[in-house]
Chain A
Amino acid sequence: MIVTFYGLIDLVCVLGIVSGIKLMNSPKTARTGNLLGAACMLIAIITTMINNEIISLKILWISMILGAFLGCLLAVYVTMTQMPQMVALLNGFGGAASAIVAFVVLTGSIAAISGIARFTGAIALVIGSVTFGGSLVAVAKLDGRITPLPIILRGHFILTLLTLITTVILIPLVAITSSNTATIPSVLSILISLIFGILFAIRVGGADMPIAISLLNSLSGIAAATVGLATSNLLVVAVGAIVGSAGIVLTQIMCRAMNNSILDVLTGKTTLSTAAQMALSSVGQDSSPQTSRSTPTAENMSAALDEATAIISAAKKIIIVPGYGMALAQAQVQVKQLLAILEAKGKQVKFAIHPVAGRMPGHMNVLLAEVEVPYDKLYPMEAINPEFKEADVALVVGANDVVNPAARTAEGTPIYGMPVLNVDEADYIIICNKDTCPGYAGVNNPLYLPRKNTIVILGDATETLRTLLEKL
């Protein structure tokens, strides 16, 4: 009877968490949803402790309080620009925690398990470790501690395949050993899985990070769910499964937005090899964008700024397109000031947000929300694309691949078929980018070619916008 009572509480908690996620479908109710989820989680944890009569154990409280304290520090001090790293780090912690729980359950707990449970435990060990290894690499890349470019080792594919096969073989081996002898195969399994995670993550490049993070997010949930399966903990199974499928939804959305399959990302097919790039630029592209404009001098940049000022002053409808460059240059503040000035002059201003602009799903929205750009001015790609035709100006701030019209025509390149923002349909295009180098995908952007209605202002987006603000 008592079991069903606690089971009932667990059920209520799961339903609460589910309703919390449902509330996340509108920005008005999302905060309540998050609080509801947190409250249910707290109740579930306390209930678990009471149910198993472990609530008085000091070590549990000390560990939880330490973790809570560190979590608070992270949550308070992280900046919105660092959010991708933060999420990647938490993906890693979730994976690591699940792997460790699986390890303890497999090797040394009275709550020892047998049969199928050991098997799921061995799977949790692998998935958790892969998540941890992959996430650490993602954090290092996003934080600029290692190069964001894909790192490809000699024989990378073979190595990855070998580690993958070894981890799969180790799963049943760990499962059939008894808890006394499971330590060595378990540790081995953790190590190889970590290496696999690292190998797959280091070859993912910067702009593919939204996909990689979403995938790791999913894996951290699946790791938790398998821990739940191994320990017959229904609450953990349910919540872990929800997180797992949330990550899968986001991964799918990101893949669709980049016209990639997840396999392409993991095997590194999303950037042009140097050879292919050479071939592409030699095929009748004698006016390659890099050479078409001389290096920016103060003179022609100031002329471009004057021109841009005149065009913006005359415009009625302006669509601003932010990209990762805005985040890098921390130009959100200037973008917001620009919005204020333009609106004060009675112009209509909207923001066009490409799903993969930035380094994680929704990155641009958070950055702009932080500087208090009202969220009803932020439009997703499908909603805003038909409007570029009527726009007088498309103002691109630090975006490249997501506005590259070559995605429609350049067959055989990684971005071919990728849905892009139709900035080229606006009457004028003003581009505030750092340089005219191809974006992450390595495909030249024809927008940089000299055209009557396109103004390219090179340099730091913050500086550019600041000057623009003064002139307006």
Chain B
Amino acid sequence: MNDWLSPVLFIVAATAGYRLISDVPSLLHTPLMSGMNALSGVTVSGALLATAFAINSSSEIVGATAIVLASINVVGGFLVTDRMLKMFK
């Protein structure tokens, strides 16, 4: 089922994202970008699975670095975005 679902979802999400982001005022473009940084850390979900199901310890370690990097993005991205948005009162 996922064979056709994922590409369709990709297109739908990209289109929806395009329209949504076009509405964000230039005032907030910097926090928008750091927020997107956080969201690109969603790859952590793939990293968790790849690491958990790695066939040997070297793959496991490589996978763990991906988890670290992606978690930096998620946590750092959301926090710094919050820090900025707090300033726009």
Contact = CB atoms under 8 A, between A and B. Distances in A.
The 10 closest A-B pairs by CB, nearest first: A67-B71, A362-B29, A71-B76, A71-B75, A242-B17, A75-B79, A108-B59, A361-B29, A90-B37, A63-B67
Nearest to A115: B3
Contact of A41 (B5, B9, B39, B66): B39
Given A35-B82, A360-B30, A235 B42 contact: yes
A18 B75 contact: no
B36 to A, nearest CB: 5
Contact of B50 (A38, A66, A96, A105): A105
Which bracket fits the contact residues of A? 35 or more
Contact of A60 (B29, B41, B48): B48
A220 B40 contact: yes
B4 to A, nearest CB: 11
Interface string B7-22: 1011111111110111
Contacts of A52: 48-49, 52
Contacts of A110: 53-55
Given A63-B68, A70-B68, A104-B62, A369 B88 contact: yes
A232 B78 contact: no
Given A67-B67, A362-B26, A375-B88, A97 B33 contact: no
A144 interface: no
A109 B63 CA distance: 10
SS of B interface (majority): helix
Contacts of B11: 241
Contact of B27 (A54, A237, A362): A362
Interface string A247-290: 11110010000000000000000000000000000000000000
B70 to A, nearest CB: 4
B20 A18 contact: yes
A78 B72 CA distance: 14
B46 to A, nearest CB: 4
Contacts of B28: 24, 27, 30, 362, 365
A298 interface: no
Interface string A31-74: 10011011001001100110010100101101111111011101
A241 B14 contact: yes
B18 A248 contact: yes
Contact of B24 (A24, A45, A217, A247): A24
A170 interface: no
B85 A30 contact: yes
7 contacts: A35-B82, A93-B69, A94-B40, A228-B46, A238-B9, A249-B18, A253-B29
Contact of B82 (A34, A83, A108, A362): A34
A227 B5 CA distance: 15
B52 A223 contact: no
A87 B73 CA distance: 10
A116 B3 CA distance: 9
B70 A378 contact: no
From B22, B28, B58, B86, name the one whose CB has the most chain A CB atoms within 10 angstroms. B28
Given A75-B83, A98-B43, A245 B21 contact: yes
A21 interface: yes
B72 A76 contact: no
Contact of B73 (A21, A63, A94, A105): A94
Given A34-B82, A94-B73, A101-B63, A213 B33 contact: yes
A139 interface: no
B72 A71 contact: yes
